[in-house]
Chains A and B, each alone.
Chain A
Amino acid sequence: MKKKILVVDDEELLTRTFARLLEKRNYEVLVASRAEDALIMAEEENFDLILCDIRMPGRNGVETIRDIRALRERDGKSPVPVIFLTGFADGALEEEAQALKPIAYVFKPFDTVKLLELVESAVPIT
């Protein structure tokens, strides 16, 4: 059974890149370009990891993760681990994001090797 990873980003270039990168590493990757889609997906599927962009049109990454976790808590499921991705620093938002205890808080553009290491240590490939 492949581990499932959800990638949330409004930038299609990136979601497609992440999908290719992670699929090559034998993960099952689902992609959402909006917070609402991510919420629906998270309700339907059980993800092992979520890669989430912070700044998105509509609800931002931090709110999205908070909503997903709240949903899972309601259904009696464990909180899903998350890696936040961001283009630039935003003090207040970063503080909120850190409060959700993510695996990492990564600035774009990132080092691919390092990112893969992070993902693989969080969700070991079976």
Chain B
Amino acid sequence: MSEAVKLSSYFLNLYAVPVAVVSSLILATGLFVFLQQKRSPTNCSFFFLCLCIGFWLYGISAVYCSRDPEIALRWYRWVTFLGVAHIAPMVYLFSVQWLKLYENQKRWVKGSFVLAALFYFTSVTTPFGIVKMREHFWGFYPEYGVAGRVFLVFFFASFLAAFLNFFSALRKEADSLRKRQIGLITVAFLISVTGSVDYLPKISSWELYPFGYLCVLSWILMVAYSIVRYRMMDIETVIHKTIMWSIVSSVFTIPLILFSYFGKETLIDLQPISFTGIVIGLVILFGVYARYVQPAIDHLFQRRRWDLLRAYERFTDELVHLRDLGELTGHIVQTIKGIFYVQEMSLLLSKDEKGGFDCVKSVPEGTRLHVERSTAFFSWLERNDVLVVREYLELDPKYELIKDEARKYFESANGQLCLPLVVSGRLLGVINIGQKANLKPFGAAETNFLSDLRRTAAIALSNSLRSIQMQENLRRWNVELEKKVEERTKELKETQAQLVQAEKLASIGTLAGGIAHEINNPLTAVLTNAQMLKMSGEVEDKESLDLIEEGAKRCKTIIEKLMKYARKTVEVERFQEVDVNKVVETVCNFLEYQLKQENIEVIAAPSKVGPVSGIANELEQVLTNLILNSRDAIRDSGRKGRVEIKTDQQNGFVNVTISDNGVGIKKETLSRIFDPFYTTKDVGKGTGLGLTICAAIVEKHKGNISAASEEGRGASFTIQFLATKGEPLSGKNNEEEDLSCRR
């Protein structure tokens, strides 16, 4: 045992080197795949498979390098066979995991592992598994015993089971992409089976170099590719670059090694100067290779990627000059179409925050497509902001939740790729890309390019949309502003008209007041002298004196009214708290008799109202005036009359409404009824000052008077005063007074 750990027990066997290198490669690949998705059972079982292969190949390298057959045998039994024994059940497990058959075949899987363990145990403890080491030109190689031959049956049986699994899955699979993937793995298996040529020298004395590890390498790479390709990794580039590098490097290194091996005696005999010259020449050659040849090869291989980079630069350069949305979308679509030769494409945009998405540009033109913002797939795109490839929907668990929605969407859009355009967490739109003209799938470099392109495109589109939005806002604000200006102008004109009217009325008032004052003194002289003559009895024609007196008295009334209108009241009264209901009651009592004579019913309907600040006499005058106007209107209508006086309080205002069923007021007259000297009554019957004075009094009380009428059916006047207190003053007990007023 101690011999096994001594370095002198080993020598550098060149045949062991490629085996060890391949072993390292396979282990690295296994680890790489495992790290892509640590939790996936497929990836895990693949990793363990690679680990077993690692044991096998590292073990065999150690066997090749051993000087002593005993040590070689020990290496093989303990290490190499540990790997070899478990490769078959691992392959079987991998097939089961990959095809999701574990639940159905788990007993077989477990059984195969138990058997593998048993074989391993047998090989370690007994000589029936591996009998002894035979020496071949490539080094020591084992000879299998009885148990070893039985093991081979188990080995092939396991492989067959795995192969059958793949084959039946391949036949059943409907999805073209998945079928392609399984197909690739099945082919890889067929290749790997050729690796079992390694067993031939183990069971016979045939001098066949065990090159199986090369088959296994290609198989592992193919499986890894198949797994990773559909996980969007750039493994293609890695594999291609590695292969290219190995080939190109061998072009230089192999002749160099051959030269140094066969010409070593010539080299030793060389003069130091010549030797130095050759070394310098080689160094320069290597420098040239590293500086120019390798990058050129890289570039040749990576040309596609380089082209994409150039295309991306051109795209962004041109983007800067485009403002118009139509040009911008056209540029995006044309760029993608020009690079990938896609047959179908559509660009969907949402014009506002909440609306759905509509197709704005497409190849071929005229595609109609509308998608609501609320669809699950689009919400998912907005949240995740990732490019989605249709092929991966079935394979990648991250699409599990939206798989069905997304599949439907891809069908409706007829696309292979979906590029969400997201800016600041908001989905602006989506670019759908259909199949390429050559029907090839999109490579990792291409999807990366598209992912970069979509970000730039999204920002450009966002800016363009924002500018459109701003223009639209500006236009709308302009329209609103114009409308407002128009409204204000109209209001201003109305106010101006009212002002002019008020001014006119005020001038008339002032004028009338002045005239009244001027006339007052002469009129006093006329009246006093007439009365004086009457008293003296000196004049015989007493009737003439009476007429003079009556005329003068009527003038006196007119003057008093005019003065009131001009607010030069003849009597001075103080503002006091007045109960409007009391005013109504007084007026009703005063007029009841007169109106009853004319067959007119007066109905007072007071309700609880607060006090108002005013002059009771004046308010009585207003009410009297309005009721008498009603009487005149009813008299003209010739029907049975009815005058209703209501009071109520709303929002701090006390309202008094007087309505009648008289002839009403003509529409064209209604606006002029409060003008001074405007009357519809016969000459000599009305002064045209009654309502003018009412309005003046109400205005003095800081109140408001308004009239409404339906011609032929009656009129109603509403007077509104500001209540001095919020709470109504008079209450229920008014009901009785109400009844007393009812005639």
Are A113's CB and B520's CB within 8 A? no
B570 at the interface (CB under 8 A from A): yes
B520 touches A109 (CB 8 A): yes
CB neighbors of A among B519-572 (8 A): 520-525, 527-529, 531-532, 535-536, 552, 556, 563, 568-572
From 1 to 32 in chain A, residues with beta carbon under 8 angstroms from any chain B beta carbon are: 11, 13-14, 16-18, 20-21, 24
Known: A109-B524, A112-B532. 19 other contacts (CB 8 A): A13-B522, A13-B525, A17-B528, A17-B529, A21-B528, A87-B517, A87-B521, A88-B520, A89-B568, A89-B571, A90-B572, A108-B521, A108-B524, A109-B523, A109-B527, A112-B527, A112-B528, A112-B531, A113-B535
Residue pair A17, B568 in contact (C-beta under 8 Å):
no
Docked-complex contact B532 and A21, CB < 8 angstroms:
yes
> In the complex, A13→B569 CA distance in Å?
24
Bound state CA distance, A91 and B556, in angstroms?
21
Given contacts A24-B536, A88-B563, A89-B572, contact A14 B531 (CB under 8 A): no
**Interface of B toward A, CB cutoff 8 Å:** 517, 520-525, 527-529, 531-532, 535-536, 552, 556, 563, 568-572
- Bound-complex Cα distance A78 to B523 (A): 35
Cross-chain contact A113 with B531 (CB below 8 angstroms): yes
B523, B525, B556 interface centre (most CB from chain A within 10 Å): B525
Known: A13-B522, A14-B525, A88-B563. A107 touches B570 (CB 8 A): yes
Q: Which residues of B sit under 8 angstroms from A16, Cβ to Cβ?
A: 525
Contacts of A110 in B (CB 8 A): 524, 528
Is A111 among interface residues, defined by CB-CB distance under 8 A?
yes
Q: Is B531 a contact of A111 with CB atoms below 8 Å?
A: yes
| Cα(A88)–Cα(B562), bound, Å | 11
**Can you list 13 A-B contacts with CB-CB less than 8 angstroms, sorted by A residue number?**
A11-B521, A17-B532, A87-B521, A88-B563, A88-B568, A89-B569, A89-B572, A91-B572, A107-B571, A108-B520, A109-B523, A112-B531, A112-B532
A88, closest chain B residue (CB): B568
A43 an interface residue at 8 Å Cβ cutoff?
A: no
Instruction: Check B532 against A88 for contact (C-beta < 8 Å).
Output: no
Q: A13 CA to B517 CA in the complex, in Å?
A: 15
**Chain B CB within 10 Å, residue with most, of A17, A24, A87, A91:** A87
Write out the residue numbers on chain A whose beta carbons fall within 8 Å of the beta carbon of B525: 11, 13-14, 16-17
Give the residues in chain A near B536, CB-CB below 8 Å.
Answer: 24
Q: B538 — nearest CB in chain A belongs to which residue?
A: A24
- How far apart are B553's CB and chain A's nearest CB, in angstroms? 8
A92 to chain B: closest residue by CB: B572
Interface residues of A in 23-64 (CB under 8 A from B): 24
In the bound complex, CA of A19 to CA of B124 (Å): 163
Q: Closest Cβ of chain A: how far from B360's Cβ, in Å? A: 80
Residues of chain A contacted by B532 (CB below 8 angstroms): 17, 20-21, 24, 112
Chain A residue at minimal CB-CB distance from B522: A13
- Inter-chain contacts of A109 with B (CB < 8 A): 520, 523-524, 527-528, 552, 556
Chain B residues, Cβ within 8 Å of A14? 521, 524-525, 528
Alpha-carbon gap, A108 to B552, bound state (A): 12
